[in-house]
Structure 1
Amino acid sequence: MDYQVNYINPEIKLSNYTGRLFKTEAAFNDHLLVWLISGETKIIQADESFVFGPGSTFLIPRNQLATIINIPKDGLPHKAVAMHLSVKRLRDFYDHQNVTPKTAASRILSFHKHPLLESCLASLIPYFEIQENFPENIASLKIIEAISILRNIDPDIDSILASFDDPNKIDLISFMEKNFMFNMPLEKFGYLTGRSLTTFKRDFHKAFNITPQRWLTKKRLELAYYQLTEKNKKPVDIYYQTGFENLSHFSFAFKKHFGHSPTELQRIKTQ
């Protein structure tokens, strides 16, 4: 198997990937604290991108739309420990704290090779070899330890970890124009804009006078056309950046829309 995941419990896992690359698009329900042991992780968001190498520790806040690409490197697999910091866990933790967090935009945080976090997450590795069920009280202690360390090294992190509200209803047009390239279910787009699926579809049609599925496909293909013709990027390098699940689906949709496959278009442009 190219991709293997071992669990201490549902909230703590060790992943080991040996294929060419592994891509996923996500807006996680939990905050995700990651310690990268080997390999490379690229995170692409609408406004910025990140590249993390071995020894990096980073936090992906919940409800952050991102494309995440995990790549083996230097002859080693992509190997990482990931800890979910769920709303329930954080509520329980902050019930015992006297905290009034300031409002701040969630953002991906890097704690590059911080010894306290590295030590905390590295201490989990022996537990993955235990075959029987991992004691919940120990898992809970490890998660509390991680939260406490995060608060110790970043005094502003309460603004992220102690914020438990669902997304508010926001401007649909600006959000979708900014995030159309992320291949999310419509239910997730609705949730992130503070809407039920029914309300999302209704508001979307009012705003764009087209169904979400058709609009998303059109926008993604237009972005792909720009990347191919203006940036001279290869189809294999852009299909996942423009919201398509695989290269064959991208090529089929592109030819149907523009009359030429991506490679045919590039050949025509260079003549």
Structure 2
Amino acid sequence: MSKEIVYSCYVNRSREGEQFVPVHVFSYQIAGAITFNDGQRTQTFDEGTFRFCRRNKLLKFFKQPPENGEFKTISVYLDETTLRNFSMEYGYTADKQVDSETVMELKPHPLLQSYVTSLQPYEKLNEPDNDNLSALKLKEAILILLKVNPALKNILFDFTEPGKIDLEAFMQQNYHFNVEIKRFAYLTGRSLATFKRDFEKIFHTSPSRWLQQKRLQEAYYLIKEKGRKISDVYLEVGFEDLSHFSFAFKKTFGVAPSTLV
């Protein structure tokens, strides 16, 4: 299968995690459901739904297979090179920058349905000599998306990098995403050095120290006041390892998180 056309399949188990979305992604939910949270909004996409994820976004996800079945989705990744080549070939350009949802639900359409059906054979086409076929399917996806949702033109062909934004507001909203400092810098329109300098002017501490304290404070509140499970909370606030979370929690508050339950 082409690396731009990807089937995901999980058997009888839920999966959760988070990711930075570096390219636009068009997806179809074949079976099961997936829930996204971008820090502002939670959305669930059930079997038979189409969606479009914007590039340069942070997302948490929860994948839920159907009862006694498999979670299945197919995704088409539309990278910048593909879109720039398409723009030159077909003359599409963005007229303006638009602010839309991180994940957009696309209304069902016969063209979308026939397209995802046509992708089924590509699950087996992962040899290098099928690259030209995959490239044609990517072009087809873009043409169909523009046909069924013309407003996507201003998103697909906007090649600008993230501009300099309000760092404090962004960090307060996104601290619970477990991504590298350089990713936060990029998303706020700054070099890593400028990000660290601006950050310390605002918060009077380093990004890594602030992030850990902010995440631990939120975890304390969720466990103590909301009665949440430790096994859920540590991931939710941006820790990737339970033992590291427990160690940092006890070092900060003087007690293990389990004593709050």
Is the pair's TM-score, using the shorter chain for normalization, greater than 0.5? yes
**What letter corresponds to residue 14 of structure 1 in structure 2?**
Y
**Quick one: distance in 1 between partners of 2:100 and 2:136?**
25
Distance change >3 Å, CA 248–CA 42, structure 1 → 2: farther
1:92 aligns with 2:75: no
4+ aligned runs moved over 4 Å, structure 1:
none
**Structure 1 residues 14-23 or 207-216, which shifts more?**
14-23
Does residue 170 of structure 1 match 2:165? yes
State the aligned residue count: 259
Pair 1:240–1:19, CA change in 2 (3 A): farther
CA offsets, 1:93-116, max 9 Å, x none? 122225443321142111254432
Over the matched positions of the two proteins, sequence identity in percent amounts to: 39
SS class of match (1:157): helix
Which of 71, 77, 81 is the matching residue for 2:70? 77
What displacement does 1:15 show? 1.6
Give the CA deviation at 1:134. Answer: 4.9
Match of 2:16? 23
- 1:83 positional shift: 1.0
1:102 corresponds, among 63, 87, 96, to 96
Q: Any conservation in 2 of the 1:36–1:54 contact (CA below 8 Å)? A: yes
Q: CA 1:259–1:66 in structure 2 vs 1: closer, same or farther (change >3 Å)?
A: same
**For 1:222-251, what per-residue CA distance to the aligned partner results, in whole angstroms no more than 9, with x for missing partners?**
111222233222222222221111333323
Matched, 1:196 2:188: no
Secondary structure of the residue aligned to 1:224 is helix
CA shift in 2, pair 1:19/1:216, >3 Å: farther
Secondary structure, aligned partner of 1:26: strand
In 1, Cα distance between the equivalents of 2:117 and 2:246? Answer: 43
Residue number in structure 2 paired with 1:242: 237
Within-5 A mapping of 1:130-145 = 130=125, 132-145=127-140
Which residue number in structure 2 is paired with residue 32 of structure 1?
Answer: 25
Partners of 2:94 and 2:108 in 1: CA distance = 29
CA shift in 2, pair 1:226/1:22, >3 Å: same
Q: Which runs of 5+ in 2 are unaligned?
A: none
Post-superposition shift, 1:78? 1.7
Q: Is the 8 Å Cα contact of residues 57 and 114 (structure 1) preserved in structure 2?
A: no
Read off the aligned partner of 2:30 and give its amino acid letter: I
Q: CA RMSD in A?
A: 1.9
Q: Please list the CA deviations of residues 50-100 of structure 1 after superposition, one character each: whole Å capped at 9, or x if unmatched.
A: 111111211111111111222223122221111111111111112222544
Bigger mean CA offset, 118-127 vs 56-65:
118-127
The separation in 2 between residues aligned to 1:56 and 1:239, in whole angstroms, is 31
Q: Distance in 2 between matches of 1:258 and 1:116?
A: 56
For 1:57, the equivalent position in structure 2 comes to 50
Report the Cα distance in structure 2 between the residues aligned to 1:189 and 1:51, rounded to whole angstroms: 26
Q: RCO higher in 1 or 2 (8 Å CA, sep ≥ 6)?
A: 2
Q: Gapped runs of 5+ residues in structure 1?
A: 1-7, 267-271
Once residues 185 and 258 of structure 1 are traced to their aligned partners in structure 2, the CA distance between those partners, rounded to angstroms, is 25
After TM superposition, the structure 1 stretch with the greater mean CA deviation from structure 2, 139-148 or 65-74, is 65-74
Of 249-258 and 61-70, deviating more is 249-258
Per the alignment, do residues 245 and 98 of structure 1 end up closer, same or farther by CA in structure 2, a change over 3 Å counting? Answer: closer
Specify which of 112, 121, 124 is matched with residue 126 of structure 1: 121
**Post-superposition shift, 1:19?**
6.0
Listed one character per residue, the Cα deviations across residues 28-67 of structure 1 (whole Å, up to 9, x for unaligned) are: 2111111121122111111111111111211111111111
